[in-house]
Structure formats: structure tokens, C-alpha cells
Amino acid sequence: MTIDFGFWDYLIFVAYAVLILGVGLWVSRDKKGHEKNAEDYFLASKSLPWWAIGASLIAANISAEQFIGMSGSGFALGLAIASFEWMAALTLIIVGKYFLPIFIEKGLCTIPEFVEKRFSTNLKTILAVFWIALYVFVNLASVLYLGSLALETIIGVPMVYGVIGLGLFAAAYSLYGGLSAVAWTDVIQVVFLVLGGLVTTYLALNTVSDGQGVIEGLKVVYDAAPDRFSMILEEGNPEFKNLPGIGVLVGGLWVANLYYWGFNQYIIQRTLAAKSLKESQKGILLAAGLKLVIPVIVVIPGIAAYVMVNDPEIMARLGEAGLKNLPSLEQADRAYPWLLQFLPTGMKGLAFAAAIVSSLASMLNSTSTIFTMDIYKQYINKNASDKQTVNVGRLSAGVALVIACIIAPLLGGIDQAFQFIQEYTGIVSPCILAVFMLGLFWKKTTNKAAIIGALASIPIAVAFKVTTMPWMDQMGLTAVLTMVVIVIVSLIQHKGKDDEKAIEITKELFKTSPLFNIGSFAIMLILVALYTVFWK
């Protein structure tokens, strides 16, 4: 199933790739008389401004995983999948207010480094291995798969060649330049991501309304599929297993969001590279605001595609216009690539290029950061020079990429890849969330209890897998039970006394600027309005 790509589409696709590669290599070049050190490579010299942080957070998050995977979920189950985005906006505010001040005060380079300072080297190593495995076998592999699926769907590139091509492209600038190259190219990519998404949404809705515009298109889509606009699914809904009703708002989705935005290296690494805490918090606020917009450009097109596929009159009209290769109801993840054929010549190439590559480089950089700083420098070469550290970072990213490229084509039988990513991340995220939340905010948490809880969480999560309980509920209960284990062991071990490595929390630590407070309040009001309108 391929889509017609014209000369200008190919030209713009190649030009975009050259632009990203050129900018990435240029911003990360060694300055005269200065050889790149570990802080330059892994934390962009701690020089990122707020707008670069906000843009980079979004670009790292909404690559193929969102555009292709979440549009596929929009096609399959509707607006309810937008909870991942809208609740993320609130989560980002929580992270900026309560987590970042502690992380930046501690001078962290990696998230596992916090575990070492709060608990022990042993626990840091356990969690570092968890993260590396998760990034390589789930995150990197699935984003490579989704990007190559788009290449296969749109221009007929075989899956294997698409995986290799995407991997080499991401490696070309991120392995050399580190976080600086990734973050500054993200600024360019997020502009084109949002632009391409908005244009695709406009054309899809305009097509549904037979040229009557976006508002009329929304009315047509809503009238044709009102069940696709419910944020809270009923228990009888076939997709209830993925989004279990009210449990989305008060249960496991909080585990996924707090883990992803607060304790996930390839996300939080950008905020740790800020010029200051206030600059980092402004970047977080920008990202939260953009999160409110993301469902418009990734979920609404998927719902529009669902309406088109189920309306014979619209499909007849599209057939007369030369549009073809419509996805079936069993091919949800082909919805967004199919929609790209609505774009004019040239724009297809731009939207396509922006949607498939941005988060790959981020994941590669963070995988190498954790391996280098938390494994290599801890156990292999404690006295490694900056040059050795940077070289090991590049080598480890290359190895991770090769492994992910081997695994990616094996994911071809997955229907909704976005749900796959969330479900299998959910095996690890409850453990990490429990350890971090109690380590941050409960002074009695001990190292031994955190280790026992982390190890116990895996069999707990696996035990839930054999039940019929929705995976999001499984994730929430796993986090709660893991916290219970940690609390019980801590109380037995210290008999109620504070741990010697406990973090001192003060009101001053969590003070935020008027801009952050006002922006956060505005975002929360918008979220209340959205859930009120689309509750049922």
C-alpha cells in the first residue's frame, strides 16, 4: 500500500534531512581550543534556554510514536486516547513544581544518579539496567518500527531498509554531537511537526465536509461517530481494556505519566541541561501548553479517517478524486500515513519527514548517557577522561541502535503500537515511580526497602498479566503494592526513624515564579473545560 510521492515531495524530504543533519553537526562542533567534555556531550553544556527545552520535550515525545501510533488509536477508539496528552499537561506542571527543584539542586546528570545519592549504588545499577533494557527493546525498537512503517506505507520502502535508514540518519548527528545536537535540531523539528499536523487536520476535516471547512468537518465527524468523542469509555466498549473508564483519571495513567515526564531520562535530561531552574520551569510550561494542542493534530485526523472509511458516500468521492489505499478497521496504524495523501505536493514530504525521526535521537542519547555515566564510569573505568567518556557514549549508542534495528521488524504483528509501548513500559514504570516518590517525599524510606520493592514489583506486574484486568489498572495496582512493600520494610528496618539519606524538603524549594503559577492555572482551567465537554 503506497501513496503517490511527487518529485517535490522527495526533494523536500531529502532537503529536510540535510537541514537537520547540517544543523545538528554545526551546533555540536568543537569550539576552537575546546575539546568536547562530558557536560558538553550529555548536558549540552547546561546552556539550553526555556524555548529550546519546551520544544525539545515535545519533539522527543511526538515523533512516529504519537503521529502514527496515537492516530491509529484515534482511528480505533477515538478521543479517549487524548487523555495521554491532556493529563500529561497537568503532569508536566507537577514535575516542574515539585520534582525539578530537587533534581537541579542535586546537580544530576542522570536519573539513576539521584537513586545513588538518595539510596545506594546497588539500587542505581538495578534501575539503570531496567532503563537501558526498556529504551532498547521497547522504545527505540517501536519508534524505528513505526517510522519504517510510514516509509513502507507512503513510498514503498521495505521495512528492513526503512529501519536501517532511519537508524543511520538519527545516528549521523546524535552520536557525534550529543544532547546539544539533539536539542537544537528538536527546535526545528517541532515547528514542522506541529505545522504538518495542523495542515493534515485541516485537510482531513475539510475533505469530510466536502470543502465546507474545519468547523463543518468537525460537526460531520461528531454526528457520524459521537461515540468516538467520549473521554471516559463504558465497560462494554471493546477498547475498555486499554482505557478503563474513570480508572484513566484516578488510576494507572498517573503511573505512566509521572514516570514518563518525571523520571524518564530521555525526557528529563533536557530540563537538567537548562541555564537555571526558572529557565527549566518555563520550558516545562511551554511543553504543557503544547500538550493541549497535540490531540488536535494526532487524534482528530485518526477519527476523521475512521469516519471516511465507514461512509460509502465519502469514499466514493475520494475514489473519484484519485485517493486510494484506504486502511481497513484492522489496520489502525496505517491511518495517519494514509491521510498524508491529502496534503499538496511538497507538503507530504515535509510532514512525513518531521513525523518519523525526532525522538530516535533523543532515546539514543539518553541510553548512552545512562550506560556511560551509571555503568561504565561506575564499574569499568572510574577514572575515565572526558574524551574516553564521550567516545564510550557514542559507542554505546551505536550498539543500542544495532540491537533495536534487529528487533524493530519483529514488531510487525502489532495493531496499535502506541498501546504496545504503554503496556510494556507499564511493567517497569510502577517500580521506578514507587522508589522515586517515596525516596523524594517520605524520609523513612530505606535503601534495603527500595531494593526489595523494586525487585518485588516485577513478579507483581507479571502476575497481573495473567488476569483479565485492564493493563492500566494492573499498572496502578502494581505501583500501590510496590509502595506498600517499601513502606513495610522501611518501618521494620528503621522502626519509624528517618533515613540518614532522606531529602530535606522546605517551602522555599518549591517556590515558583508568577509566570509559572498563572500559566499553570490557565492550563488546569482548560483541562477542566475539555473533560467537562467530552466526558461522555
Per-residue pLDDT 10s for the chain (536 aa) are 455 667 777 788 788 888 888 887 787 776 665 566 666 666 656 778 898 889 888 877 776 556 777 788 888 888 988 998 999 999 999 999 999 999 888 888 778 888 888 999 888 888 888 888 888 887 788 888 877 877 776 677 788 888 888 888 877 777 776 777 777 777 887 888 788 788 888 988 988 888 888 899 999 999 988 888 988 888 888 888 878 888 888 888 899 899 889 988 878 888 888 888 999 999 999 999 999 998 888 889 889 888 888 877 877 777 666 666 666 656 676 777 777 777 777 777 776 666 566 567 777 888 888 898 889 988 898 888 878 888 888 899 889 989 999 988 877 655 555 556 666 677 778 988 999 999 999 999 999 999 999 889 989 988 988 888 888 888 899 999 999 999 999 999 877 788 888 888 888 889 999 999 999 999 999 999 999 988 87
Cα gap 5→27, rounded to integer Å: 32
The torsion angles phi and psi of 467, rounded to 5 degrees, stand at -90, 170
Name the residue among 317, 289, 279, 250 with its Cα closest to residue 53.
279
Name the residue among 403, 364, 284, 261 with its Cα closest to residue 42.
364
DSSP structural state of residue 48: B
Cross-strand pairs, 274: 48
Region of residue 223 (left: phi > 0; alpha: psi -120 to 50; beta: else): alpha
- In sequence order, the 6+-apart residues with CB closer than 8 A to the CB of 128 are 110, 112, 370, 371, 374, 375
Q: Return the pLDDT at 163.
A: 86
Query: In Å, how far from its chain's centre is CA 288?
Result: 13
Cα gap 10→349, rounded to integer Å: 6
Cross-strand pairs, 48: 274
Name the residue among 484, 497, 494, 427 with its Cα closest to residue 452.
484
Q: Please, how many CA atoms are within 13 Å of residue 276, restricted to the half-sphere of its CB?
A: 5
Cα gap 526→307, rounded to integer Å: 27
Could you tell me the CA-to-CA distances from 9 to 80, 83, 344 in Å, in that order? 33, 33, 9
Q: Return the pLDDT at 45.
A: 64
Q: Which residue has the cell 576552537?
A: 32
Domains identified in the chain and CATH numbers: 7-26+41-418 (1.20.1730.10)
Cα gap 296→301, rounded to integer Å: 8
Cα gap 231→174, rounded to integer Å: 38
Cα gap 320→391, rounded to integer Å: 56
Q: Report the number of secondary-structure helices (H) and strands (E) in the chain.
A: 27, 0
DSSP line for 465-508: HTSSS-HHHHHHHHHHHHHHHHHHHHHHHHTTPPPTTPPPP-GG
CB 88 within 8 A of CB 273: no
Q: Which pTM was predicted?
A: 0.85
